[in-house]
């Protein structure tokens, strides 16, 4: 059981690190950059900006006027947290891409849920663009979720697992 415990602590560390980094960066942005202001980092490519997202990831449903939007986003986040936590608990016995991916998703989901529960919106600040084309602003939590999901896809598509041997083999 020692291996399980060590891996669970490692995965928990990853999730807590993402939550702490997300909270710290969002706090810094809200303290140092006025809402809708930005700082060019690489002109014509990347800027740090301060926007608030009242929708889902990357601004999805932000323009929805439904009175249920926030409650549904919170409910969806809680359900996702329960599912990811259960999967992480089951897959935490060894060091795998799946475990790291799930820990990143868990940390990111908690980071954005924290904002949504406190204020009904999420602080986003990383903005990539080329000319007039831009990717919706995002944050550390969103980044962790995307990287975690990408790790899961890589694991599913490219990592070969040993086929289970039947007892009659």
- Which residues are catalytically annotated? 124, 142
Q: Take residue 105 and report the two structure tokens written for it.
A: 């998703």
Give the H or E element holding residue 11: helix 2-32
Nearest to 143 by CA among 101, 111, 108, 97: 108
- CA angle (54, 56, 59) in 5-degree steps: 70
Q: Take residue 149 and report the two structure tokens written for it.
A: 């999901």
Helices (H), 33-96: 69-90
Q: Take residue 119 and report the two structure tokens written for it.
A: 């204020």
Q: Counting beta carbons within 10 angstroms of the beta carbon of residue 75, is it exposed (0 to 12), middle (13 to 18) or buried (19 or more)?
A: exposed
Q: Is 41 helix (H, G, I), strand (E, B) or coil?
A: strand
Give the integer Cα–Cα distance in Å for 70 and 76. 10
Give the integer Cα–Cα distance in Å for 8 and 89. 7
């Amino acid at each position: 059981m020692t291996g399980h415990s060590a891996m669970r602590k490692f995965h928990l560390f990853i999730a807590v690190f993402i939550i702490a980094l997300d909270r710290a960066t969002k706090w810094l942005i809200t303290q140092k950059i006025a809402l809708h202001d930005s700082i060019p980092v690489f002109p014509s490519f990347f800027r740090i900006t301060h926007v608030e997202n009242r929708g889902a990831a990357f601004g999805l449903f932000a323009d929805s006027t439904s009175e249920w939007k926030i409650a549904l986003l919170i409910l969806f986040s809680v359900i996702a947290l329960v599912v990811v936590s259960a999967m992480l608990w089951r897959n935490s016995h060894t060091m795998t891409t799946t475990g790291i991916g799930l820990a990143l998703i868990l940390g990111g989901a908690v980071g954005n849920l924290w904002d949504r529960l406190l204020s009904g919106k999420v602080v986003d600040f990383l903005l990539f663009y080329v000319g007039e084309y831009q990717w919706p602003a995002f944050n550390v939590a969103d980044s962790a979720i995307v990287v975690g999901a990408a790790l899961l896809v890589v694991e599913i598509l490219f990592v070969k697992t040993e086929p289970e041997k039947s007892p009659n083999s």
